[in-house]
Structure 1
Amino acid sequence: MKAFVLSSYGPPDNLQLTDLPTPAPGRGEVLIRVRATSVQPYDWHFMRGEPYLARVMPGGLGLRRPALPVLGADIAGLVEAVGPGVTGFGPGDEVYTMSKQGGFAQYACVPADDLAPKPRNLTFEEAAAVPLAAGTALLALRDDGQVKKGDNVLINGASGGVGTFAVQLAKAFGAHVTGVCGPRNIDLVRSLGADEVIDYSKEDFTLGGRRYEVFLDIAGNRPASAGLRMLTRKGAYVLVGGRSGRWVQPAGRMFSIMARGPFISQRVLRTDVVNRTDNGRNLMTLTELIEAGKLTPVIDRSYTFEEIPSAVRYQEEGHAAGKVVVTH
């Protein structure tokens, strides 16, 4: 099979199109013929090996070379074969999943427990935009933020991959949603259901005096003290990402904010979707919402498989509204 392989840290040009053996599914695994994938910051961190701190952490990026040579966490495609012990899926089934790697190849083996049927009203391209970003938004709001009907929710970074799903999910949960984004994405965020949209280039959203039950901080571009000041006494500060740096950030900022948790009345949480064991069940929840018309992926640009380095380069610029996807 063809795959883009990353043998050393560096720019997108380090992704080299290579011939690899097609993997065989082991016990509990499914072999997927990849029809589409997406590109996201998760891939960028493994490609660049940044922040450097993450190279030495257990389960991290890899000390001297990338721990994941074939990137692409989001996968939508067709079941090619199933391994021993797999039930519920068979060859030809249309599925989607979030795996730690594999989307930048023609075939990928993933645990059957991480799979879900592809939403019937989505193309493979659209489905590939969903798993990691929408899964992160779901966990951040439903599990960590515990959003309920009538809550005031502020989403900083509302026009990105996670943000566009978060706006829709918060509305589906019955919240009053305020989205923060740049001027060119105001109409997009409003069209997704946001009750209010703040243009960060014109207004400092931390100074309005309004209080929120949940602050979902995706952009990570404001001081922790300002974010906590906007919360109600029992509110939740939920961290997803933030501005990246070569050495520590965004991990350092997350640790700094979470260290305040024991000393304040608000809850401070960090959402991590990659290492969960219930991603298959969460994808089923997302499928139900998508098929009910309550959740729709936003795609900024689409590339072909051969253009994967260009897709990564564009995503790395940080200006995409919604998701960047790749069709095979």
Structure 2
Amino acid sequence: MYLLQHVELQVPSPKQDEVLLKMEATSINPFDLRIQKGIVWPFLPRKFPHIPGTYHLSLHLQTLHFSSMPNISNAYFRSSAKEFFVGAGIDAAGEVFEVGSGVKNFKAGDKVVAVLFVSRHSYSSGLCYSDLSASICYMFDNMHQTRVSDTNTSCRHRFKSLAMANYYEYILQRQNICGGGLAEFAVAKENLTVSRPPEVTAFQGAALPIAGLAAHECLIRTPGFNYEKTGQQLNLLITAASGGVGQYAVQLAKLGNAHVTATCGARNLDLVKSLGADEVIDYKTPDGAALKSPSGRKYDAVIHCATGFPWSTFKLNLSTNGKVFDITPTPSVFMTYALQKLTFSKKQFVPLLMTPKKEKLDFLLNLVKEGKIKAVSDSIHPLSKAEEAWAKSIDGHATGKIIVEP
């Protein structure tokens, strides 16, 4: 079982290069769930952006279980294999409440959109022990007590219980994070924050960052694709096109030199068609399961937003140099890609590893402002009922983005 818990913390204080946001909206991304469950550990969150909270604790060498969960973040999630403490919500739309001393481009009252990600890393190692019935947490760093606290704010230290029957060596990776979007306030890095035009609502802003950036990244990595509609027309396949990333992928692809084939469920065929897809296939039909284009086209690129499908299915439908971009890659995708690189394969299964950039987010936000792309909302939930939003995301059949508003 994975748990989401509401807790109260002091309002964060922005550091020199950060802005404090009064949250207006955030959205939930499917990849949040993968990180929560530890599916991509140790690849994430050690080196790449992950769901932001107050701290992230990544335990190596020995699985540790807690009898009392440290109350140190917006929310916590429990896995049978590892413990992750995170505050959920990478996408953020809000109003600047306070700025750090080094911030030059924003002031209190500005409406913004931001991506909330890890800012700092630190490590400690040593021995730890506990009494299984203990209710107070002591982490011993070389036999000296280490306080687990919320260093993103100036709040008081909190101690809980770390339950282990024996001594174990541990390596504890601490990541101080900029705050979570599932909160009333969050802090964001200035270099991942952009101004939100008056024409763009908080909902539109919160629905955009990760989903829009992922779709955009796949397209600009596709050889021959451009937004000027010059050169040869490319044939693209977008799976799960009614989802968060898929909806943007369809719209962005049609702004460029692409013919778009899309898959989705039967109830969303008309929606995906309205977003601009040239061909739409019900994924439950034989052609949908085989990913076959109704017009017999071979795909120059696939933006794979669904789960499943073996490489063999993609390979049959790709052009000579076709690429499949997997937006939520599993370890097997990384292994397939590595083997293909070693064997100089022209057809490749490419795991999407994305580092958000301010200029790319600004580019997409302007497209929203100009009405060239739009956000599709599955549902909007108040922060007090964030569990419902999370459960809907876990279900995996959302149409568009799931939004949470304070």
Give the whole-Å Cα distance in 2 for the aligned partners of 1:180 and 1:265.
24
- Tell me which protein shows more helix as a share of its residues: 1
Give the whole-Å Cα distance in 2 for the aligned partners of 1:317 and 1:168.
25
Structure label with greater radius of gyration = 2
Higher alpha-carbon deviation: 177-186 or 138-147: 138-147
Higher alpha-carbon deviation: 176-185 or 138-147: 138-147
Match of 1:30 in 2: 19
Mapped contact 2:241–2:249 kept (Cα < 8 A): yes
Match of 1:266 in 2: 347
State how many pairs are aligned: 307
DSSP-derived class of the 1:80 partner: strand
Q: Deviations along 1:36-79, whole A, 9 cap, x unmatched?
A: 11112132224333356557965687335655521110110000
Give the whole-Å Cα distance in 2 for the aligned partners of 1:236 and 1:46.
25
Q: Deviations along 1:248-299, whole A, 9 cap, x unmatched?
A: xx232343244323421134422223xx2x5211110101211121110110
Match of 1:296 in 2: 374
The answer to whether residue 238 in structure 2 is matched with residue 238 in structure 1 is no
Q: Deviations along 1:13-40, whole A, 9 cap, x unmatched?
A: x222111121111111111111111112
Taking only aligned residues, the RMSD between alpha carbons, in angstroms, comes to 2.2
Q: What letter corresponds to residue 74 of structure 1 in structure 2? A: D
DSSP-derived class of the 2:291 partner: helix
Give the whole-Å Cα distance in 2 for the aligned partners of 1:190 and 1:257.
32
Task: Give TM-score, length-normalised by structure 1.
Answer: 0.86
CA 1:121/1:266 → structure 2, altered by over 3 Å: closer, same or farther? Answer: same
Mapped contact 1:147–1:214 kept (Cα < 8 A): no
Mapped contact 2:24–2:93 kept (Cα < 8 A): yes
Match of 1:4 in 2: none
Mapped contact 1:145–1:237 kept (Cα < 8 A): no
The answer to whether residue 309 in structure 2 is matched with residue 222 in structure 1 is yes
Structure 1 residue 160 displacement after superposition: 0.7
Unaligned runs of 5+ residues in structure 1 are 1-9, 243-249
Mapped contact 1:145–1:236 kept (Cα < 8 A): no
DSSP-derived class of the 2:6 partner: strand
Q: What letter corresponds to residue 18 of structure 1 in structure 2? A: V
Give the whole-Å Cα distance in 2 for the aligned partners of 1:32 and 1:144.
35
Task: Give TM-score, length-normalised by structure 2.
Answer: 0.70
Relative contact order, CA 8 A, sep 6+: which one is greater? 1
The answer to whether residue 282 in structure 2 is matched with residue 199 in structure 1 is yes
Unaligned runs of 5+ residues in structure 2 are 51-55, 65-81, 118-178
Higher alpha-carbon deviation: 160-169 or 196-205: 196-205
CA 1:258/1:181 → structure 2, altered by over 3 Å: closer, same or farther? Answer: farther
Q: Deviations along 1:67-125, whole A, 9 cap, x unmatched?
A: 55211101100001111221111110000111135101111111100011124322212
Q: Specify which of 234, 238, 241 is matched with residue 158 of structure 1.
A: 241
Give the whole-Å Cα distance in 1 for the aligned partners of 2:209 and 2:392.
20
